[in-house]
């Protein structure tokens, strides 16, 4: 019989284990193995760093980590959100600019200005307005997973030779590099720690988008 994530112990080949820096809170570090590597990997692969302008679309479980990593890597970080109330939160997390994506004038002002966009949104949304923000040969990476196919105009890609790609998580070596980077910069996920007995309440809140930004279960609460 197996218990998956509810197991008290597991046996694993050391080649598939990771070292979590001791200066990181284990609970806040746990989601780094999902949301952390999902955003760190495309940012590193596509050259986010000093002198680069990076856009992060969405400010949720993935997006808030994208902002933290982009800022720590040295890139000028711009958050795009449909929620005006998230501006202060985006700034707190490290964004240099916050743009309301429903504001057509604000979006137009940033046309052809970004070197990289990481799109973390998992709800259906138009991609063309974001592609218009990319410079020549720049890239937009999809890490969110909308439930329906996304449509893109070919003309959003033709003339500026823009690239549209996707990314999932990362391998063991890359994930370890991400954890080491987090240890050096003191980066963890913003979490709400809950007891197992609160799981139904947490599920209901998650379905409403009412979590900042990951629930983490205290496994000791399994015993009462």
39 in Cβ contact with 61 (< 8 Å)? no
pLDDT category at 10 given cuts 50, 70, 90 is: confident
- Cα 220 to Cα 122: distance, rounded to the nearest angstrom: 32
Q: What is the pTM of this model?
A: 0.93
Query: What mean pLDDT is predicted for residues 47-58?
Result: 98
State yes or no: pLDDT of 5 exceeds 90.
Answer: no
Q: What is the pLDDT of residue 90?
A: 97
- Cα 209 to Cα 215: distance, rounded to the nearest angstrom: 12
pLDDT digits (tens, 9 = 90+) for 184-203: 999 999 999 999 999 999 99
Residue with tokens 């000791």: 220
19 in Cβ contact with 178 (< 8 Å)? no
Q: What is the pLDDT of residue 9?
A: 82
- Cα 73 to Cα 51: distance, rounded to the nearest angstrom: 10
- Cα 194 to Cα 21: distance, rounded to the nearest angstrom: 23
Tokens of 164: 């549209």
142 in Cβ contact with 165 (< 8 Å)? yes
Strand residue runs (E) in the chain: 53-57, 76-81, 97-100, 114-119, 134-142, 163-166, 191-195, 214-218
Q: What is the pLDDT of residue 119?
A: 98
Q: What is the pLDDT of residue 222?
A: 82
pLDDT digits (tens, 9 = 90+) for 68-81: 999 999 999 999 99
Residue 32, Cβ density class (10 Å: 0-12 exposed, 13-18 middle, ≥19 buried): buried
**Which domains are assigned to the chain?**
34-173 (3.40.50.720), 191-224 (no CATH)
Q: What is the pLDDT of residue 61?
A: 94
- Cα 143 to Cα 27: distance, rounded to the nearest angstrom: 23
State yes or no: pLDDT of 180 exceeds 80.
Answer: yes
pLDDT digits (tens, 9 = 90+) for 99-153: 999 999 999 999 999 999 999 999 999 999 999 999 999 999 999 999 999 999 9
């Amino acid at each position: 019989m197996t218990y998956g994530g509810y197991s008290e112990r597991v046996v694993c080949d050391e080649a598939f284990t990771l070292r979590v820096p001791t200066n990181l809170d284990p609970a806040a570090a746990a989601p780094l193995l999902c949301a952390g590597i999902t955003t760190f990997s495309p940012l590193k692969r596509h050259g986010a760093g000093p002198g680069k302008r990076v856009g992060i679309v969405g400010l949720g479980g993935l997006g808030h980590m994208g902002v933290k990593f982009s800022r720590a890597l040295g890139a000028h970080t711009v958050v795009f959100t449909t929620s005006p109330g998230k501006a202060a939160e985006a700034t707190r997390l490290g964004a240099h600019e916050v743009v309301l994506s429903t504001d057509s004038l604000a979006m137009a002002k940033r046309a052809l200005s970004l070197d990289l966009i990481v799109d973390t949104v998992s709800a259906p949304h138009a991609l063309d307005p974001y592609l218009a923000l990319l410079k020549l040969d720049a890239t937009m990476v999809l890490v969110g997973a909308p439930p329906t196919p996304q449509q893109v105009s070919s003309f959003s890609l033709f003339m500026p030779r823009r690239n549209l790609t996707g990314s999932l998580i990362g391998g063991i070596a890359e994930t370890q590099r991400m954890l080491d980077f987090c240890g050096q910069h003191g980066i963890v996920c913003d979490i709400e720690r809950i007891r197992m007995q609160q799981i139904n309440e947490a599920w209901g809140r998650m379905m409403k988008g009412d979590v900042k930004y990951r629930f983490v279960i205290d496994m000791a609460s399994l015993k009462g």
